[in-house]
Structure 1
C-alpha cells in the first residue's frame, strides 16, 4: 500500500477524531468498558479494509468485486461503529 494523499488525509481525520472523542469522554466523565473500545476498533478496521479493498479492486478494473467487497466489509464495520458509539453515549458516568 502506497502512502497516497487519501491515506494521509484519512490518518489526519482519524487522529483528530480520536482526540475529539477522548476530550468528549473526559468532559462528560464517561469511562467506556474495554469491550466498547474493542468493538469500535474492529469496526474501524473493517471500514478501513473496505476502503482499501474498494480502491485496490477498482484500480484492477473489477467494478462488481469492488462494490461487493466494500459492502461485505463496510456494512458490518459501520454497524459495529454505531454500536460502539451508542454504548459510549448511553453509558453511565463514572
Structure 2
C-alpha cells in the first residue's frame, strides 16, 4: 500500500511543480510549510485509520479521521487558498 501511495505522491508532486512553472506561480515558504504539515498529517491519518481497522477498532479509526484527518484537510485547503488568492492578485 505504501509503495502505491509513494508513487502517487511522487507523480502528484511532479505535476504540481510542472503546473506551477507553466502558470508562473511561485509559492512562499509558509505555503510550502503549511502544505507539508497538512500532507504529513494526512498520511499519518491514513496509516492510523487502516491500522485501527486492522486491529478491529472501528471507533478508534473513526476518531482518527475526525481528530487528525479534518485538520489535515483544513491545512491543505488553507495553503491552496493562500496560493490561489495571491495568484489572482498578480
Counterpart of 1:64 in structure 2 is: 59
Q: Pairwise mapping of residues 19-30 of structure 1 onto structure 2 (< 5 A)?
A: 19-30=14-25
| Bigger RCO (CA 8 Å, 6+ sep) | 1
CA deviation after TM superposition for structure 1 residue 71, in Å: 1.6
Structure with the largest fraction of helix: 2
Counting matched residue pairs gives 89
Any unmatched runs of 5+ in structure 1?
1-5
CA RMSD between the two structures: 1.5
CA deviation after TM superposition for structure 1 residue 90, in Å: 2.6
TM-score, normalised with respect to structure 1 = 0.87
Any unmatched runs of 5+ in structure 2?
none
TM-score, normalised with respect to structure 2 = 0.90
Counterpart of 1:16 in structure 2 is: 11
